[in-house]
Structure 1
Amino acid sequence: MLLQAALEPLPFAKPFRIAGHVFTEVPAVVVTLSDGTHTGRGEAAGVYYTGDDAPAMLAAIEAVRGAVEAGITREALRGALPPCGARNAIDCALWELEANRTGKPVWELAGLPAPGPLLTTFTLGADVPGAMAEAAIAYAQARALKLKLTGDLDIDIARVRAVRAARPDCWIGVDANQGFDIEELGPLIATLVDTRVALLEQPLKRGCEADLDGFHSPVPIAADESALDLSELPALAGRFDVVNIKLDKCGGLTEGLEIARQARALGLDVMVGNMVGSSLAMAPAYLLGQLCDIVDLDGPTFLAKDRTPGIHYADGLIHCGEDVWGRAAAGTERQSAFVGTS
């Protein structure tokens, strides 16, 4: 087995702002595995708030190169690396390699239903309220929107009201990215109820989960930064209503599928999200999305260029074929290729 790892930075079409951060590119790492006949690929962006950046991902990949090239299994990989972007890239490459060896698509190998189009949110970066309202209108096809907040309560309330006035037709969720304290949630949630917002994602800082003990919200609260991997699931029940699974956080599709199943057993709803990336990164998450209540897989829409073949968005839905990732046509060797996005 031959393992190749390459850094492929993905520039954003324009800067993207959330609470405490402005992003201009995705530091994507792509892993390709080849047995001489068949290949498998995986893309990861890492997790910026845990220090899982491109150098860390590349170093982690090198640390397990020998085991991977000797034929590591996906389950053994979970023991060889902690949850991280490197493990995600290798795990996804192993799934596609098996699909190409067996001639079966990944969804079938994973015991999933045949995938179909999914309603996805389209994300509005934090900006002044008027600009966010204009951006909401510009997402004409969107049926679901996710608003990034910054933790400035008055401005965030104005942002939510402006977007709802601009798009009375849409499902709306908000993502606070750890921007609030527990004392601020009362007035924020009152606004969310008044504006028919359906989800509040990660309002408090990671590590402050216990502050939600005994807190009752009429708006479902989702754990994102508070839910990195499978081991953190038990602490979420009773505090959160939804867990947001991201493959870079949990270390791949293998663990992501297990999180979805165990979250259900704990009474949690399930969401799939992304750290932004190309269609190669979204495709495995799209399969996980077949099990989810909420889907947030708009990552390629932020990029100056996406790969081709790529996923397709139409009428608020995400469509992804097996030619993007998951099974190549017999005898086909796919290379990374990029096309501009509008």
Structure 2
Amino acid sequence: MKLYFEHKTLQLKETFSIAYGNYDKREALLVELTYLDSKGYGECVAIDYYHIDLKNFIIRLKEIQPLLEKQTITHPTEFFLFLSGLRLHPFLMSALDCAYWDLFGKLENKSFVELNHIPSQDLIESSITISVADIEDQIRKIENSSWNRFKVKCKGLNKDNIEKLLRLNRNIALDSNASFTDQDCLWLQESKMMTQFSYLEQPRPIGNYRILNKESFVNWMADEDCQDLNALDELLPYYKSVNIKLLKCGGLTPALEMIRRAKELGYRIMIGCMTESTVGISAGCALAGLVDFADLDGANLISNDPAVGNYVENGKIIQSGKPGLGIVLK
């Protein structure tokens, strides 16, 4: 097996504004694993609020390349055990794990969905993100969109804006990216109208969730608070839902385990994404049959997508059915 990797800049179609800042591009690291004539692809992106430095990832890949290329082709769960022993950052581990699942499926001539017996019919629709902006601009984007589900970004709580969004009578979620105060959260979870939002995501900074009450009117959803399997039991009294992102937890292999455990605990589950190309989104789409919500619009936000594979069109998740994750570079 051979390892190749390449730094790419993903250009956004328009400025992406969230509580953490404004972004016109994302830096990405594309990983390719090759065996015989088959190629598998994975990806990780540089997210500043996760303190990701792709230069360090490249240095680490060069360090482990000889070890990785000595690996024989085994089941992806065994390959993940090997990766786990290398003490990699979850973002980098995810890129390698997803690339290996893509490669393995292509060698076996079976899709990830087939290999893992995942339902592929009647998939939940993905939301599309509405960036932080003046509320009238946000409403205009919602009304002009061909999508059915929306995740509206906000920076702090504006009660008038909440009411304006609810009057649209659309399928809307709120994501404050940790910009709500404790007082905001108390007001929200005592307001019955909050049941009209599909969920409210990551209201407070990491670790500041004990003000939340899962038995309130709000469907609180953990994002940054829910990094891996170990978080699920701790968060149970506070959150009804969790956002599982492959980059956060380390790839498809741990995501499958997280989904299994989250279901056992009674969480509602979203498969989410960062601003990623089709390489990353294809992996997320493969899990759509196991979850209650999807937020997989990342590739729809960029203008120079380097790949084709599974994709989202007007919210509908389209699985190619091709071997592996079905990823092909353009």
Q: What's the TM-score once normalised by structure 2's chain length?
A: 0.90
1:92 alignment counterpart: 98
Counterpart of 1:104 in structure 2: which amino acid?
K
**Matched residue, 1:185:** 185
Amino acid at match of 1:229: D
**Residues in 2 aligned to 1:63 and 1:262: alpha-carbon distance in whole angstroms:** 34
Deviations 1:309-334 (A, max 9, x none): 35454453121314596247xxxxx4
Residues 62, 124 of structure 1: alpha-carbon distance in 2 compared, 3 angstrom cutoff:
same
Structure 1 stretch displaced more, 314-323 or 275-284? 314-323
* Structure 1: gaps of 5 or more residues: 329-333, 338-342
Letter in 2 for 1:161: E
Contact 2:309-2:325 within 8 A present in 1 as well: no
Question: Structure 2: how far apart are the matches of 1:326 and 1:273?
Answer: 17
Give the corresponding residue for 2:115: 109
**Aligned residue in 1 for 2:51:** 51
Amino acid at match of 2:166: R
Following the alignment from structure 1 to structure 2, what is the Cα–Cα distance between the partners of residues 116 and 326?
A: 19
Task: Return the alpha-carbon distance in structure 1 between the equivalents of residues 320 and 284 of structure 2.
Answer: 13
Query: Which runs of structure 2 are paired with 1:156-235 in the superposition (5 Å)?
Result: 157-165=159-167, 167-168=168-169, 170-189=170-189, 193=193, 196-212=196-212, 216-235=215-234
Q: Tell me the residue number matched to 1:34.
A: 34
Deviation string, structure 1 residues 98-141 (Cα, Å, up to 9, x no partner): 111111111122232346643111110010111101111121x2
| Shift in alpha-carbon separation, 1:282–1:17, aligned structure 2, 3 A | same
* 1:163-203 alpha-carbon deviations (Å, 9 max, x no partner): 333x32x2111011111121221334466726821211000
8 Å contact kept, 2:132–2:155: yes
Query: In the alignment, does 2:150 pair up with 1:145?
Result: yes
Letter in 2 for 1:220: N
Count of aligned pairs between the two proteins: 324
Conservation of the 8 A alpha-carbon contact between 1:10 and 1:303: yes
- Contact 1:279/1:324 (8 A) holds in 2: no
SS in 1 for 2:163: helix
Amino acid at match of 1:262: R
Matches within 5 A, 1:240-251: 240-251=239-250
| Counterpart Cα distance in 1 of 2:171 and 2:254 | 29
Equivalent AA in structure 2 for residue 148 of structure 1: K
Structure 1 residue 2 displacement after superposition: 1.0
Query: What one-letter code is carried by the residue in structure 2 that aligns with 1:302?
Result: L
Change in Cα spacing, 1:317 to 1:244, as seen in structure 2 (3 Å) is: same
Aligned alpha-carbon RMSD (Å): 2.3
Tell me, in whole angstroms, the C-alpha distance in 1 between the residues paired with 2:67 and 2:61.
10
Match of 2:211, SS state, is helix
Equivalent in the alignment of 1:279? 278
Contact 1:260 1:291 in 2 (8 A): yes
Letter in 2 for 1:112: I
Contact 2:106 2:323 in 1 (8 A): no
TM-aligned CA deviation for residue 56 of structure 1: 3.2
**Native 8 Å contact 2:271 2:288 kept in 1:** yes
1: CA distance, partners of 2:323 / 2:49: 29
Percent identical residues = 26
Whether 2:235 is the aligned partner of 1:236: answer yes
Give yes or no for contact 1:83–1:229 (8 Å, CA) kept in 2.
Answer: no
Displacement of 1:67 in angstroms is: 2.4
Change (3 A) 1:195 1:270: closer
TM-score under structure 1 length normalisation: 0.87
Instruction: Find the counterpart in structure 2 of residue 294 from structure 1.
Output: 293
1:134 match: secondary structure: helix
Q: In the superposition, relative to structure 1, how do residues 49 and 161 fare at CA in structure 2: closer, same or farther (>3 Å)?
A: same
1:263-315 Cα distance to aligned partner (Å, 9 max, x none): 11122111111011111111111112211111111111211222453545445
